[in-house]
Amino acid sequence: MFALQPEMKVFSGSANRDLAERICKYIGTPLGPVAPDAEHLERTRRVVLEQRPRLQAALAERGAPSPPSQANFILARSGERTGAVRAALFQAGILVRDGAGVGFPGHLRIAVGTAEQNARLLEVWDRTSGSAGRA
């Protein structure tokens, strides 16, 4: 299995190593060890705790509220814009999940990233949704 962390490290365990290496090459990051180190986990935890409320507030200001979350992601209500926003984010290299896959149609499951990653997501969101300057 592999996972992207806020600092864009890829950790490879039982997943197809070739796939993990191709993802690393695509995003320009080295393949990490099987398990992240304690320092990386703590840094990641701090990023999520700091950035989650900021990202939630910024998306709520853009008309995409989300329920409280204790996870490393939020579930933003995007309504009829879901497909267009998801496609624009994908074109910009930002992967989000359609909430319909987890029982929440009209929502996007968005991983909490670093301040820079979240700013990039919001920039694309604004261009797509026509809500630039609202946050």
CATH of the domain at 118: 3.90.1150.10
**What rounded mean pLDDT belongs to the chain?**
83
Pick from 2-11, 13-22, 33-42, 118-127: least confident: 2-11
pTM, two decimals, is 0.71
With respect to residue 38, please indicate whether it lies within any of the assigned structural domains: no
pLDDT over 60 at 134, yes or no: no
Domain that holds residue 11: 2-32
**8 and 74 assigned to the same domain:** no
Residue 111 shares a structural domain with residue 63:
yes
Task: Give the residue from 34, 52, 64 showing the smallest Cα distance to 111.
Answer: 52
pLDDT at 13 over 90: no
Q: Stretch 1-15: mean pLDDT, rounded?
A: 47
Q: What angle do CA 76, 1, 124 make, to 5 degrees?
A: 30
Q: Is residue 102 part of a domain?
A: yes
Quote the number of domains for the chain: 2
25 and 55: one domain? no
**CA atoms within 13 A of residue 2's CA, in its CB half-sphere:** 20
Q: Looking at the domain assignment, is residue 134 inside a domain?
A: no
**Which pLDDT value is given to residue 84?**
95
Q: Are residues 61 and 21 in the same domain?
A: no
Query: Are 61 and 28 in a shared domain?
Result: no
Residues 14 and 67 in one domain: no
